[in-house]
Structure 1
Amino acid sequence: MQEQRADVPRRWPGPPWWNRESRGSRLPWRSTLLFTAFVIVGTHFSALNQKGERVDLGPLAYALLLVACGVLLWRQRHPVPVVFTTAVAAMVYLGAGYPYGPVVLTVAVGCFSALVAGRRKAAWTAVGVFWAGHVLVSHWLYRWLPPPGDSPPSWGQELVIATWVVAIVAMAELVRVRREQWARERAERAQAARRRADEERLRIARELHDVLAHSISVINVQAGVGLALLDSDPEQARTALTTIKAASKEALGEVRQVLDTLRTPDAAPRAPAPGLDRLPELVEQAASAGLTVTVEGEAPRLAPGTDLAAFRIVQEALTNVVRHSGSRRARVHVEAAEGVLRLRVDDDGPASGTDAGGSGNGLAGMRERATALGGTIEAGPRDDGGFRVLALLPLKAAAQESIERKEDV
């Protein structure tokens, strides 16, 4: 595993005061001072119990204790030098014959910090050096080192100490692994949140495009009619303006519904989502734009998501006919067979521009809606002229969606 940078400040597992930093500094002064006091006091009481067996505490002993504890101030920024310094200071302290005590905890804290920071090789090496030095002093060099007349400890005692060291290292490894799991989980949650936000933005953009493209196309056509007939046929111009008012009102209502969902995402929509039962309204709006629409077939009962997608696909297809086709007639065929809802929208052409049938966000939005339900969209010129949009939406997925919505209720 790639080691993390040692100079990046980190927060460590433990109570809040352990990570609290003094104002204006990022060094863990408080926790280090408390730990230093504990080590010095604990060493003092340990020396009382070992009086006559080990060398009395002196200036050198306290200096080594202060070095081993004080260097822990930089355990978060520079864990590698810290763990080696604590190991060397503790080894010199014990080699000088001073009493056994909490000094070994400085090595444990340094090793723990290095392991949590991802410096596994340095931590294991420092612990190995400390352990080898301890064995070397206790079983060989003790003859020439203070205190005089010292005898080597039993190997059973060495085994107990080794077990204690391994337990500390294993705990540090466990904390390191757990921290990595937390980091991965946070990254996955953040990625899932970004994905949901992207999907929601796409859904809103698609809804706004479908609503505005259709309504503005109708408004554009009627505005042209009104301008052309304003002087020669004021009554027909008035009818065009009435159509513009109705279309703009409907578009504003649907846009407001989408925006209300943004403001209060947990609130229920004020109006039901449109579906194929509103095809007569589409036919009427298309007629006001000069397009005659014939509807063939009848849609079955659909789940809300599929019903909305089918309505938007038909709406966008008719909008494309109004905007891009020279034909003033269109046919909508609805059929449900073999578990598939077939929507077919035909016009007789010819194209009124180079982007006949639409080639921008409209067709892309239709494909996204169909793909989201496991369906397909085919759009292109017909052999006999004109343009066709064919959507195939699975009814099985729609039925499953309906069941899930009922279960949620």
Structure 2
Amino acid sequence: MRLHPRAADGLTALAPAAVACLLGAEAATQGWPPLDAPGWTLVALANLPLVLRGRAPVAVFLFVRLCWAVYVSLGHWPVVNSPAAMVAFYTVTVARPTRITAGCAALLGGVWVYAGAVSDSDAMPAVVGQAIAYPLVIWRFGHSARRTAELTERLRAEQAERARREVAEERVRIARELHDVIAHHIAVINVQAGLARYVVDSDTRTAREALGVIGTTSGEALTELRRMLGLLRADEAAGETRKDDPAGETGHRGPGAPETAAESGAAAEPAPGLDRLHDMIDRIRAGGVRVEVTVEGEPRPLPSGVQLCVYRVVQEALTNVLKHAHGARAAVRLVYRADEVEATVIDDGGPERHRKEPDPARSAPTTGHGLIGMRERAKLYGGTIVVGPRPGGGFGVHLTLPAPQRCARREDTVTE
């Protein structure tokens, strides 16, 4: 249980007040005049303001010094109110800069020396030594506490900034992932809708097939969106749980509380991998692009992240063919090697190859979120990617990803 700062200040003020009461009661046995009503009043006035030391440390310090000086001037034992004076000074050292602390230290030492002079002490050198040593020791502890508090606050700010950066990066990643998903499916739907509209009166069968592709593709797009939104909601729910229950020990869920994904039986849809590559290519073929697929080497299981990277790069490359070179011939080539996997997508440019002016959207590989996403995915898995027009016409994308055991040793390089 964490105390409120004002309650903590109140409990802290009790300690010097209790010590002052005990010392005040022993004043007569130490050869000092017993405390009378004005003396006890000054003891109370010197200790009670410590409750407010967190809100106004310098003002409390000055008031305590004034009460202490008056108390000493009346001939009472100076030691009685010294604990309150030192606590007030410590608060100043923790809360205020050095230049203010130095002035308060001089005041503390001055009242100390004044108390020794008023009481005609025979050990004045010892009193002066205490007037110098005590403020220095208290300042050292207070300064260390202030530095620790500043470093803690800076660390919290850095952690908050890092968290904001991670959230921003995650939003960018999700935006690119959504672009890859939606752009591909919408491109296929757009082409098929145009085909259906064109042949709806002359070729009912082809129009019906195009509508079927539209239905299938839109359903897959919705599935992808649900999968990603499910991940987002799961992360949000986990964040809420960590915020509400930092120890990770949630209690019994009451009636009406939302179920988790596992409890409700909603299994998360897996991210697309190479096993779904041919389904995506079939949709591209249905859009009017002739695609040939070649696989070289012995196919082997790959990490899901590597499979997703290859899938998305091939998907984006073929979607660009569908959008910018409709009717072109495309070739997809997958090569499995001992230490890496390659994916190449090339096209012949289709009708564009006869133009004098190439399509600027294809001749500028640095534009577009999809191509940026391809480069970022390659960098994430330590691979390389070459994107750009081909000398003989058309466009090419060549992706190389290292095998998992070499990912940590390969430098991230992306070329164009």
TM-score, structure 1 normalization? 0.78
* Uncovered stretches (5+) of structure 2, i.e. residues with no partner: 239-260, 410-416
Return closer, same or farther for 1:365/1:117 CA change in 2, 3 Å cut-off: same
Equivalent positions of 1:6-405 (< 5 A) are 16=3, 19-20=6-7, 30-31=10-11, 34=14, 38=18, 41-50=21-30, 53-58=31-36, 61-62=39-40, 64-135=42-113, 137-138=115-116, 142=117, 145=118, 150-153=120-123, 166-265=136-235, 270-298=268-296, 300-337=300-337, 339-349=339-349, 350=352, 353-356=359-362, 359-396=367-404
Instruction: Give deviations 1:259-291, integer Å, cap 9, x for gaps.
Output: 111222476863332222322112211111111
Task: Report the TM-score when normalising by structure 2.
Answer: 0.77
| 2:193 and 2:214 in contact (8 A); partners too | yes
Q: Which amino acid aligns with 1:289?
A: G
Q: Which residue of 2 aligns with 1:10?
A: none
Structure 1 pair 343–365 and aligned structure 2 pair: CA distance change class (3 A): same
Instruction: Quote how far apart the aligned CAs of 1:160 are.
Output: 6.8
Q: CA deviation at 1:16?
A: 1.8
1:361 to 1:399, Cα distance in 2 relative to 1, 3 A:
closer
- Residues 275, 109 of structure 1: alpha-carbon distance in 2 compared, 3 angstrom cutoff: same
Question: Whole-Å Cα distance in 2 between the matches of residues 47 and 168 of structure 1?
Answer: 26
Stretch deviating more after TM superposition (307-316 or 368-377) = 368-377
Query: Following the alignment from structure 2 to structure 1, what is the Cα–Cα distance between the partners of residues 86 and 274?
Result: 71
Percent of aligned pairs with the same residue? Answer: 35
**Distance in 2 (alpha carbons) for counterparts of 1:398 and 1:193:** 30
The change in CA–CA distance for 1:151 and 1:80 in structure 2 (over 3 A counts) is closer
Change (3 A) 1:291 1:202: same
Instruction: For residues 39-87 of structure 1, give each alpha carbon's deviation from its aligned partner in whole angstroms, at most 9, with x where no partner exists.
Output: 663353132433xx33443565445434433543542333233334433
Q: Aligned with 2:362: secondary structure?
A: coil
Distance 1:132 1:255 in 2: 74
Partner Cα distance (2:2, 2:112) in 1: 32
Q: Could you give the per-residue CA deviations for residues 132-182 of structure 1, whole angstroms, max 9, x where no partner exists?
A: 4423552xxx3xx3x5xx432375677678665555444333332332232
Q: Is the 8 A contact 2:109 2:131 kept in 1?
A: no
**Cα deviations by residue, 1:306-327 (Å, 9 ceiling, x for unpaired):** 1111111110111111111244
- 1:406 is aligned to none
Whole-Å separation in 2 of the counterparts to 1:32 and 1:304:
58
Q: Kindly provide the CA deviation profile for residues 326-374 of structure 1, in whole angstroms up to 9, marking residues without a partner as x.
A: 4421112223457443322111112885422773111111112112122
Distance 1:181 1:84 in 2: 28
Task: Report the Cα distance in structure 2 between the residues aligned to 1:15 and 1:220, rounded to whole angstroms.
Answer: 60
| Alignment match, 1:24 | none
Structure 2 distance, partners of 1:183, 1:151, is 46
Query: Structure 1 residues 246, 305: CA separation in 2 closer, same or farther (over 3 Å shift)?
Result: same
Could you tell me how far apart the structure 2 residues matched to 1:384 and 1:57 are? Answer: 106
Note if contact 1:325-1:356 (Cα within 8 Å) is conserved in structure 2: no
1:18 is displaced (CA, Å) by: 5.4
What is residue 11 of structure 1 aligned with on the other side?
none
